[in-house]
């Protein structure tokens, strides 16, 4: 059964969603992050995906008080990303209550740092976040093309790497369905890696399509906030 991971994107301590990563196309929601997390947990969704958008812009963690409040709820298994560039950042976020940290741009620009993080904190806590256009990896908030193909990036961190979140930028926030073919190709090529699909989920049918393709995890964000998918429609996954 596919694991459903609801998303919380943070800006100024509030829940927001961006379309295709564009801050000019931001939608803010009235629910507080703690309220959303509690609702997700009540629905049986233990693992949640949290992105510190301010941190991503600033290059350092900016929403640690929110992380601490989320951790205080208890029972959540949080993966946290946004602006994490040093080992001190990783320590701070993990100590504040995150179960896993997501590294994207820094993994592309400083691969040795990413390898050290895998070695020090363990592959079960370090997740590669790969944002792609087609199969080309983008960095710096999706603004720059790294010139690296997703398969080459993943290969460069094997065999230590165990978890990868792949976000298809063109589909993010658009609710038009996931790039199932891409995730199937990646899962077939790297059977020892656990892939999480991100971008495009607009219905339960989109989730089922990924499940049928054998993709183990999926992030669901805007569809929940826009009530395209209701929590009661979802099944209780295991993280």
Residues known to be catalytic: 9, 131
Contacts of 123 (CB under 8 A, 6+ apart): 160, 161, 162, 163
The Cα 136–Cα 149 span in angstroms is 5
The Cα 126–Cα 123 span in angstroms is 5
What Cα–Cα distance (Å) separates residue 65 from each residue in 10, 56, 74, 176? 12, 16, 15, 34
Write out the two tokens for 116. Answer: 């050290």
Judge whether 75 and 42 are in contact, CB under 8 Å.
no
Write out the two tokens for 213. Answer: 């393709």
> What angle separates helix 87-96 from helix 64-73, to the nearest 10 degrees?
40
Write out the two tokens for 217. Answer: 């995890």
Phi, psi of 26 (to 5 degrees): -100, 135
As a whole number of Å, the CA-based R_g of the chain is 16
DSSP state letters, 5-20:
EEEEEEETTEEEEEET
């Amino acid at each position: 059964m596919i694991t459903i991971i609801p998303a919380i994107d943070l800006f100024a301590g509030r829940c927001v969603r961006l379309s295709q990563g564009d801050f000019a196309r931001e939608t803010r929601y009235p629910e507080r992050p703690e309220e959303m997390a509690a609702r997700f947990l009540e629905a049986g969704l233990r693992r949640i995906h949290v992105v510190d958008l301010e941190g991503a812009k600033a290059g350092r963690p900016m929403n640690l008080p929110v992380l601490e409040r989320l951790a205080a709820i208890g029972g959540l298994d949080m993966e946290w990303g946004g602006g994490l560039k040093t080992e001190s950042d990783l320590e701070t976020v993990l100590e504040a209550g995150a179960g896993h940290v997501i590294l994207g741009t820094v993994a592309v620009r400083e691969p040795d740092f990413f390898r050290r993080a895998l070695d020090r904190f363990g592959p079960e806590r370090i997740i590669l976040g790969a944002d792609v256009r087609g199969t080309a990896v983008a960095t710096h908030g999706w603004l720059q093309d790294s010139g690296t193909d997703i398969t080459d990036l993943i290969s460069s961190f094997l065999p230590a790497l165990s978890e990868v979140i792949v976000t298809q930028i063109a589909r993010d926030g658009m609710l038009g369905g996931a790039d199932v073919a891409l995730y199937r190709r990646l899962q077939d090529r790297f059977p020892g890696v656990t892939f999480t699909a991100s971008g495009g989920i607009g219905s339960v049918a989109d989730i089922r399509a990924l499940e049928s393709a054998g993709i183990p995890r999926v992030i669901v964000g805007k569809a929940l906030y826009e009530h395209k998918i209701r929590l009661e429609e979802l099944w209780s996954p295991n993280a």
